[in-house]
Structure 1
Amino acid sequence: MAEKTVLITGATGNLGRAVADVFLLEGARLALVASHRENLDRIYDGLSADHLRLAADLGDAKAAAGLVAEAERFFGRIDAVCALAGAFEMGGAVHEAAPALLDRMMKANVSTMTNVVRAAVPGMIDRRAGKIVTVGANAAQKGVAGMGAYTASKSTVMRLTEAMAGELRGRGINVNCVLPSTIDTPENRAAMPSVDPGKWVKPAELAAVIAFLCSDGASAMHGALVPVVGLS
């Protein structure tokens, strides 16, 4: 990935930081995207001027388009998009959950991805080259009681990934999706203290798979839903 440009959404999260670390080691140029600039400045303090830090509400299509345009002006092109931004909420029974829950999950997990992709794909089509990696969820391969809104949103990401792969595979663009199980983060350890985190997937392990899907080695992969589940 040396000298290639990678746009990473959700860059201040545990997974986003791990993915950024992999690409920095590989010599990529990074457009690091998050909701709050102060978090980007804190986490990536000291990062060279070869990279770009951008803050925006990716649930807003206009803001996402402006952010992508700024990255394209700065770097000249975007070679890969890692659409990592997302959120998780339990919700109780579907018939009891507030309508706003589904709206939040769809905005956080679907709109943040589609708004960025909508803005980035035209440039990839012009160059007949590009990689897009999305994040579904292993649990969302079927509906799960108490997680209806979350699994519905992640299932939507998976179906849209497959659709985009079919639409773009003849234009030099690869679109694939990772399906992690529980990720070993401090937040998940605090939320589930009785569960063995040794069985969870580590951010660095998931980041390595994402980096591979952005590489030339994955050029024959289109619409793959890749389980990354550790020992869980």
Structure 2
Amino acid sequence: MTDTSTIPHVVITGAAGALGRAVVQHFLAQGARLALIDHRADRLSETFPGLDNSQHLLLQADVTSTAELSAVAAQTLKAFGRIDALVHIAGGFEMGEATHALTRASWDRMMDLNAWSFVAVTQAVLPSMIERGAGRIVAVSAKVAARGLPGMAAYIASKSALQRLVEAMAAEAAPHGVAINSVAPAVLDTPANRQAMPDANPAEWVSTSVAAETIAFLASPSAAALHGQHLALD
């Protein structure tokens, strides 16, 4: 029988995206046991064929839904016994509207996907970490969260809100042995970004593999002294 006491048990949201895939591969190489969450089950099964087995979980959930996340967290805890780390990658990006012309729909969409989703997923996972007195939570924020830019008001505001949530939750959770931080990448080198910015130089962007390594560090015991930090990747 395999001794699972030393195997990392990791939950990853947005697992089927470009960064999610890099993070999944990094943790698989470390021998971790994974619960992968995405809003579409077919994307998960297509992206990770063969991973839906007794060792790993492929779970469909809307990351803005507390009810759905509570259900998949309960399923994960029943299967794994514990969650050592949560990597919250799921989010959204859009731009175009000037700040004075922002629509409520755009505002709500960005705030729900990038800020509220962090509250919803940690609501489902953090209590079990506090009970155990151990855990790591890593969010994916953004380097641009530090300053407003034209046409990106709702996105930047939502990522800034995410960073403030990370800081507040980190201060609350640190006394219980849980470290909460974020990575704040500039532009990630993904197929979507290459398509959206064909004239840019991807060599100047952040590779998803490098971002995955930083996330894995924050999710490890080595990051025990980091709380409420945002590691800028540029």
Q: Is the 8 A contact 1:132 1:174 kept in 2?
A: yes
Whole-angstrom distance in 2 between the partners of 1:21 and 1:41:
15
Whole-angstrom distance in 2 between the partners of 1:38 and 1:210:
25
Describe how 1:59-70 pairs up with structure 2 within 5 A.
59-70=64-75
The CA deviation at 1:58 is 1.4
Q: Is the 8 A contact 1:86 1:109 kept in 2?
A: yes
Matched, 1:25 2:25: no
Identity of aligned residues (%): 45
Length, aligned pairs only = 229
TM-score with structure 1 setting the length: 0.96
The CA deviation at 1:49 is 2.8
Partner of 2:7: 3
AA at the equivalent of 2:169:
M
Runs of 4+ deviating beyond 2 Å: none
User: What SS does the aligned partner of 1:95 have?
Assistant: helix
User: What SS does the aligned partner of 2:49 have?
Assistant: coil
The CA deviation at 1:2 is 5.3
Partner of 2:208: 203
AA at the equivalent of 1:25:
A
Provide closer, same or farther for how the CA distance between residues 160 and 68 of structure 1 changes in structure 2, counting only shifts above 3 A. same
Pick from 43, 55, 62 the counterpart of residue 39 of structure 1: 43
Q: Is the 8 A contact 1:91 1:148 kept in 2?
A: no
The CA deviation at 1:61 is 1.0
The CA deviation at 1:142 is 1.1
Matched, 1:77 2:82: yes
TM-score with structure 2 setting the length: 0.96
RMSD over equivalenced CA pairs, Å: 1.1
Structure 1 residue ranges without an equivalent (≥5): none
Pick from 128, 132, 142 the counterpart of residue 133 of structure 2: 128
